[in-house]
Amino acid sequence: MTTLFVRHAVSDYKAWRKVYDAFAPVQKASGVKAESVYQAADDPNDVTVTHDFANAADARAFIENPKLKEAMASAGVVGAPTMWITNKA
């Protein structure tokens, strides 16, 4: 199992969440097996998202999908996100 972690600041969590939820069909078509959303305890606009994939290649392809960048921009992501891919040990 491969997990992609994405951490970013958003301008408004509720507005971001609407776009994130609407993006679910693209996630599924891109091989996302499961996902989770977390907010920092002291800042609800500091968001970390996890996406599980079958392999790292699928995770990399998802990161490079232009639709993902468009969704992030329209959702109010502030600055560049931090992304990293992990494999379960």
Ordered domains of the chain (ranges, CATH): 2-87 (3.30.70.100)
SS3 state of residue 1:
coil
Over the stretch 66-86, which tens digit does the pLDDT of each residue have? 999 999 999 999 999 999 999
pLDDT reported for residue 1: 93
Mean pLDDT within 25-40: 98
CA distance 44 to 84: 21
pLDDT reported for residue 84: 98
pLDDT reported for residue 60: 98
Mean pLDDT within 30-53: 98
pTM of the entire structure?
A: 0.94
Cβ neighbors of 4 (< 8 A, separation 6 or more) are 50, 51, 52, 53, 59, 62, 63, 83, 84, 85, 86
Sign of the torsion angle spanned by Cα atoms 36, 40, 45, 48: negative
Q: How far is CA 29 from the centre of its chain?
A: 14
Mean pLDDT within 16-41: 98
